[in-house]
Amino acid sequence: MYAAAMTTSERLIEATRELLWERGYVGTSPKAIQQAAGAGQGSMYHHFAGKPDLALAAIRRTAEQMRATAEAVLGGGGTAYARLEAYLLRERDVLRGCPVGRLTMDPDVLASEDLRAPVEETLDWLRGRLAGVVQEGLDSGEFAGRLDAAEIAATVVATVQGGYVLARASGSPAAFDDAVRGLRALLASLSTRTA
C-alpha cells in the first residue's frame, strides 16, 4: 500500500492519517495502525510515545497538506473571483468529506487541546487566506458593494464544509455541487469582471 522507500515512521503516519479520516480517533486503534502500516508494535512505540503522539503527527501532516493544496489554488494567478472559483471547483473526494473538517466532529479530538490545535489553526488559516483573496478583490474594485472579507471567507468555508456533510448524508456529490454552484453564482453577482 505504501512506497517501499517510506520509512516505518512515515508509513505509520500515513496509515494513521487514512484511518483517522475513515474511522475517527476512537476507531483508529494502535493494532489497526500497525496492520495498515505493516509495522510491529515495537516499531510504533520506538517512533512515537503512543497513539496520541502518532495521531498528532498525522493530524499535523493532514493539516499541512490541506494548506498546501489550498495555497496552490489561492496563490495562483488570475482575478480574486477566478481564484475563489478555482478553490471551490478543485478536485475533492466529496463523499469521504474533508479530512480536517471531519476531525471537528470527533469528540476525542476536540477534548484534546494538542489534537484540536492543528485543526483549529488550519481552519483559521484557511479563513484568513480566503479573506485575503476577497480583500484583494475589494481593493482592486473587482468586487462591488460593501462586503466584509472575513464574512465572505467564512461563508466559503461553511459552504464547502457543509457541502461535504450534505453530500455524505445523501450519498451523492450532487448536494456538494449544488452548494458550490450557488455560492459561485452569489460571488459572480458581486464581481465586476467574472469573465
Angle in degrees, 0-180, between the axes of helices 51-74 and 30-37, rounded to the nearest 10:
60
CA–CA–CA angle 184, 189, 195 (5° rounding): 75
What confidence tens digit (pLDDT) does each residue in 119-131 have? Answer: 999 999 999 999 9
d(CA 34, CA 8): 10
The pTM of this model reads 0.91
What confidence tens digit (pLDDT) does each residue in 85-104 have? Answer: 999 999 999 999 999 999 99
pLDDT at 146: 83
Helix then strand then coil, in percent of the chain rounded to 5, is: 75, 0, 25
pLDDT at 5: 73
Closest by Cα among 70, 98, 69 to 166: 98
In CATH, the architecture of 8-190 is: Orthogonal Bundle (1.10)
Question: What are the residue boundaries of the structural domains of the chain, listed by start?
Answer: 8-190
d(CA 163, CA 148): 22
pLDDT at 1: 57
173 Cβ neighbours under 8 A, 6+ residues apart: 94, 95, 167
- More reliable by pLDDT, 131 or 44: 131
Beta carbons of 98 and 160 less than 8 angstroms apart: yes
- Per DSSP, the residues of 133-184 read HHHHHHHTT-B-S---HHHHHHHHHHHHHHHHHHHHHHTSTHHHHHHHHHHH
What confidence tens digit (pLDDT) does each residue in 64-92 have? Answer: 999 999 999 999 999 999 999 999 999 99
CA–CA–CA angle 111, 112, 114 (5° rounding): 155
pLDDT at 190: 86
